[in-house]
């Protein structure tokens, strides 16, 4: 499947479970498909290959840098593509703006992209020292800085536990409060250092992942209100689906997957959806070897009745 191979030489990007996504959307020429998390447009490019020449792709992302790159990548399809800078929680407004009444399928590939993680100045990663930002949408107001420096100890602890399943959530929250009483925590380097100091010595070496991974993930999810966005968007989607239209969601976090699972179940009980994946589909071993970002993905698919 040529479309699933990255054609952008400068920014290496491997779309996760691309073959499975394309198959699950049941694509054919002429369909109208929404990519709610366009990213760099790798899945979108593979979708367009199948729905062209007459199909239409609506690509949504809240990251303007990613949209710009995707626009370039999808240039050959420009007559068939509408790109929108928006939060997918406002999907109804996007459709109204584009005068779209019904669609044939929608894809959510959740979370941050490797491009965002690797952007040194965005503050998503502890690998680079940068201001504590972590906003996917640079025009939104709340930064990781605001949460780290203004929330109470309990609020921070709850975020670390709920969104990061961080075992040392209480200790990290307590340490952050003490540290910021002396001076604000302004950089990713300082946050990483605080986590390392808060965790007991044995804890630092006992995990496969870097000890700061869960803290960074938790603050990122909180800054971007990722779970609320998913819940709101999934609630709005069914009214726009044609009969037989597919919803495909790739999630990377147990809480995201739970939201998808419950949404699909509720809609199935109401006779709105048929669930195609009784159990979530997982990537092949080979894909995880080739693309470590795929290691925690779960894919769920439903069909509109
Ligand atoms: C994992 S990447 C998608 C990669 C994409 N499938 C590709 O092939 O290049 C997730 C993208 O979704 C975007 N995103 C995450 N949450 C969003 C939301 N609530 N609304 C719009 N875009 C969102 C991120 O900015 C990011 O670019």
Same domain, 71 and 8: yes
Same domain, 68 and 17: yes
Same domain, 91 and 237: yes
Cα-only R_g, the chain: 20
Same domain, 150 and 182: yes
Mean pLDDT by 10 residues, the chain (305 residues): 52 85 97 98 97 97 97 96 98 98 98 93 95 96 97 98 95 98 97 95 72 96 98 98 98 96 98 98 96 94 98
Distances (CA, A) of 35 to 47, 84, 124: 9, 10, 23
Same domain, 68 and 109: yes
- Residue with CA closest to ligand 1 atom 1: 113
Strands 241-251, 56-61: pairing kind: unpaired
pLDDT at 12: 58
What is the position in ligand 1's atom list of the atom closest to the CA of 45? 8
Same domain, 6 and 107: yes
Q: Which of 223, 248, 270 is the last residue of a domain?
A: 223
Same domain, 69 and 207: no
- Indicate which CATH number applies to the domain containing 217: 1.10.150.170
Indicate yes or no: pTM above 0.85. Answer: yes
Q: Which of 188, 208, 223 is the last residue of a domain?
A: 223
The 10 Å CB-count burial string (b at 16+, else e) for 10-42 is eeebbbbbbebbbebbbbeeebbbbbbbbbbbb
Full residue range of the structural domain in which residue 184 is found: 141-223
Task: Please report whether residue 134 resides in a domain.
Answer: no
Tell me if 4 CB under 6 Å of ligand 1: no
pLDDT at 239: 97
Helix (H) or strand (E) segment spanning residue 302: strand 298-304
- Indicate which CATH number applies to the domain containing 96: 3.40.50.150
Query: Could you tell me the distance, in angstroms and rounded to a whole number, from the CA of residue 210 to the centre of ligand 1?
Result: 24
Tell me if 41 CB under 6 Å of ligand 1: yes
d(CA 238, CA 67): 25
Same domain, 230 and 219: no
Could you tell me if 210 and 158 are in contact, meaning their C-beta atoms sit under 8 angstroms apart? no
Task: Please report whether residue 130 resides in a domain.
Answer: no
pLDDT at 204: 66
Same domain, 248 and 294: yes
pLDDT at 111: 94
Tell me if 39 CB under 6 Å of ligand 1: yes
Task: Please report whether residue 125 resides in a domain.
Answer: no
Q: How many domains does the chain have?
A: 2
Same domain, 64 and 146: no
Query: Could you tell me the distance, in angstroms and rounded to a whole number, from the CA of residue 87 to the centre of ligand 1?
Result: 9
- Residue with CA closest to ligand 1 atom 2: 113
Q: Which of 223, 258, 292 is the last residue of a domain?
A: 223
> CA triplet 113, 63, 187: central angle to 5 degrees?
75
> CA triplet 214, 112, 25: central angle to 5 degrees?
125
């Amino acid at each position: 499947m040529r479309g699933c191979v990255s054609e952008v030489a400068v920014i290496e990007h491997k779309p996760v479970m691309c073959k499975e996504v394309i198959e699950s959307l049941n694509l054919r020429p002429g369909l109208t498909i929404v990519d709610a998390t366009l990213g760099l447009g790798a899945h979108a490019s593979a979708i367009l290959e199948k729905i062209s020449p007459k199909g239409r792709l609506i690509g949504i992302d809240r990251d303007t840098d990613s949209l710009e790159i995707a626009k370039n990548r999808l240039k050959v399809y420009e007559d068939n593509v509408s790109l929108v800078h928006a939060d997918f929680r406002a999907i109804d407004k996007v459709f109204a703006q584009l005068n779209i009444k019904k669609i044939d399928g929608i894809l959510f590939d959740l979370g941050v992209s490797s491009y965002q993680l690797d952007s040194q100045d965005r503050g998503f990663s502890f690998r680079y020292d940068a201001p504590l930002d972590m906003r996917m949408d640079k025009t939104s107001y709340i930064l990781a800085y605001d949460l780290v420096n203004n929330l109470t100890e309990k609020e921070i602890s709850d975020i670390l536990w709920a969104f990061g399943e961080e075992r040392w959530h209480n200790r990290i929250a307590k340490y952050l409060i003490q540290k910021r009483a002396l001076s604000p925590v302004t950089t990713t380097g300082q946050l990483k250092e605080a986590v390392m100091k808060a965790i007991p010595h044995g804890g630092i070496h006992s995990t496969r992942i870097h000890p700061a991974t869960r803290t960074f993930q938790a603050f990122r999810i909180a800054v971007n209100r990722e779970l609320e966005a998913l819940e709101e968007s999934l609630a709005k989607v069914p009214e726009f689906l044609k009969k037989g239209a597919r919803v495909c969601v790739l999630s990377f976090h147990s809480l995201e997957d739970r939201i998808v699972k419950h949404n699909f179940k509720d809609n199935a009980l109401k006779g709105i959806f048929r669930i195609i994946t009784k159990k979530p589909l997982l990537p092949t071993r080979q894909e995880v070897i080739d693309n470590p970002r795929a290691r925690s993905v779960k894919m769920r698919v439903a069909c509109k009745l």
